[in-house]
Structure 1
Amino acid sequence: MKQETSAWLQTQRLLAHQQPERPRHGLSVEGELIGSIEESLVLQLGADALKQYGLDLHWRNDTWVLDGQTDGTLRLNQLAKLMRAQGLAGAWRDEQLLVCNAAGQKVATIERGAVRPLGIATRAVHLVGYCEDGALWVQQRSEDKANNPGMWDTLMGGMVSAQDSLPEALARETWEEAGLHVTELAHVAHGGCIEFSRPSDEAEGQGYMVERIDWFSALVPDVLQPVNQDGEVQRFERLTLSALEDWLVQGRFTPEASLVLASYMGW
């Protein structure tokens, strides 16, 4: 590793874990702590609007408690719809993500676009695809992506939805983003986990990202080439490890891909 790479990596690791820019307090549903919110978001939502959506968000024991007549999933998704109506949600995906308690047990599910403003922890999966000569396949994200448009990423990176197991998410995202079947790849292996906790610019800067990334590596046989299927990737490049290191230090990769690739490199 070059000296400048070492300094870059230290900075990336510091940026991965940052305190909220403003005070946040716990968010509770069904008696379980599932996220965190800023008081300003509660005030913007407004008690009257919450009531119209069948919700009551009140302060109890230093925690915001979301009550209502329905179960946790319906309550959280009503809250997500209200946030969307008021322009306080992230990009709407019509995709449900798991909502878990501190022990990792399922409490409910919620629309993906609401997780950052509510500080709900998410889980993602990345695939580092390497070639027979050691080079790596990387992708350039579409300019239409809500987050990090046009930046470079691992061969595949995506969320684990509520309906997916980790292997299912790996297979689905690998096909959607790279047009590859996991069964066609060789030496598929779980490489490790990367965790992030840092402010997010969603909901007018009131979001907070808490995420665990499980990353895998696999050999992409030379007879195969990635071809995007979902329109979220501009192009793919095959980089030597030397070129990859240069691109990382130049800041071409997303923060998530940067640390996944650094971990793959053994740094």
Structure 2
Amino acid sequence: MKLNYVISDSIQSALNEIIETAYRSIPNQFVPVYYVNQLIGSVSASCFSHMKELFNQDDNDFSFIQINNDSILLSTSSSYDLSLELRILAEFLRSKGVFSHWRNEQFSFLREDAHEIFRLERAAFRGFGLMSTAVHINGFTRDGSIWLATRSDSKSVDPGLIDNMTAGGINAIETVQSCAERELWEEAGVVSNQLNNLFPAGLIEVRRFLPPHEIHHEKIFTFDLFVDENWTPINHDGEVQSFQKHGIEEVIDFILSEKMTQDAAVVTADFILRNLKI
């Protein structure tokens, strides 16, 4: 269903700029992380210093992680063995206060063919600058209104900011579709018969520096969910404090006034631009 929004050229340009600048460069002082010959992440100078401290200990027993003068190299091994060594390293860095927002949730780092190279604590993905994956779902009605969520004030990341109706990271045992369905139920109370109106919309890659130590690098699978005008989302997991249904003008104001999370702003801007009247 195309909504045929009408907005000015200047607003279109502003929304396009938000999307085009969502993937940003890494600070020069960050140290690259390679898997064999592939650049997969980067760590801050302070994080790298702590890593060298661990690897200089006589009793370190790392077989698949190598620390050089100016880089970190992960070697080919089984996912289990490399995951184990990375977990030991991540726990050490956590003890040094480098990694924040520890979740006790595993994410997978995948090859291009979707095979798992390793899995690691979610918080360590940002600490190592690794690309994670997530789903974001735009909930909308026939008249073009968009459902948005206000994040709980207890959230460790972006508390109280406006978010997409549903959004969440894809953990190590999920597919894109199963994550979308789980998040829709947990965050918005979407039931199975509503999933017939859930459609994949695209893929957006974002990357930005999060001071002082982290890189947020994520591949976002976007979905659109058409909902009945009389339906209201109901949160089940405590991560949303409220839902609001807004017209297009209000939503654009939220995006441009930076009241939304940066990822949600990009996803929502993309939704609006895909639904412009031609």
TM-score (norm 2): 0.84
Identify if the C-alpha distance between structure 1 residues 32 and 138 changes in structure 2 by more than 3 Å, giving closer, same or farther: same
Aligned to 2:4: none
Aligned to 2:48: 42
Give the Cα separation in 1 of the matches to 2:213 and 2:146.
36
Pairwise CA distance, 1:35: 2.1
Aligned to 2:22: 16
Read off the aligned partner of 1:265 and give its amino acid letter.
I
Query: What secondary structure is seen at the aligned counterpart in 2 of 1:265?
Result: helix
Is residue 97 from structure 1 mapped to residue 107 from structure 2 by the alignment?
yes
Read off the aligned partner of 1:35 and give its amino acid letter.
G
Identify if the C-alpha distance between structure 1 residues 50 and 166 changes in structure 2 by more than 3 Å, giving closer, same or farther: farther
Aligned to 1:65: 73
Is residue 75 from structure 1 mapped to residue 99 from structure 2 by the alignment?
no
Give the Cα separation in 2 of the matches to 1:166 and 1:102.
15
Aligned to 2:3: none
Give the Cα separation in 2 of the matches to 1:4 and 1:143.
33
Query: What secondary structure is seen at the aligned counterpart in 2 of 1:16?
Result: coil
Pairwise CA distance, 1:28: 3.7
Pairwise CA distance, 1:20: 1.6
Q: Is the 8 A contact 2:16 2:269 kept in 1?
A: no
Query: What secondary structure is seen at the aligned counterpart in 1 of 2:127?
Result: coil
Give the Cα separation in 1 of the matches to 2:26 and 2:140.
36
Identify if the C-alpha distance between structure 1 residues 216 and 10 changes in structure 2 by more than 3 Å, giving closer, same or farther: closer
Aligned to 1:221: 228
TM-score (norm 1): 0.87
Q: Is the 8 A contact 2:19 2:269 kept in 1?
A: no
Aligned to 1:237: 244
Q: Is the 8 A contact 1:22 1:38 kept in 2?
A: no
Is residue 171 from structure 1 mapped to residue 178 from structure 2 by the alignment?
no
Is residue 208 from structure 1 mapped to residue 218 from structure 2 by the alignment?
no
Q: Is the 8 A contact 2:106 2:171 kept in 1?
A: yes
Query: What secondary structure is seen at the aligned counterpart in 2 of 1:227?
Result: coil
Which of 194, 218, 223 is matched with 2:204 structurally? Answer: 194
Q: Is the 8 A contact 1:90 1:116 kept in 2?
A: no
Aligned to 1:251: 258
Read off the aligned partner of 2:253 and give its amino acid letter.
D
Pairwise CA distance, 1:223: 4.7
Q: Is the 8 A contact 1:45 1:86 kept in 2?
A: no
Is residue 261 from structure 1 mapped to residue 268 from structure 2 by the alignment?
yes
Read off the aligned partner of 1:256 and give its amino acid letter.
D
Q: For residues 137-176 of structure 1, what are the structure 2 equivalents within 5 Å?
A: 137-176=147-186
Identify if the C-alpha distance between structure 1 residues 82 and 50 changes in structure 2 by more than 3 Å, giving closer, same or farther: farther
Relative contact order higher in (CA < 8 Å, ≥ 6 apart): 2
Read off the aligned partner of 2:28 and give its amino acid letter.
R
Q: How many residues are matched?
A: 263
**Seq. identity, %:** 26
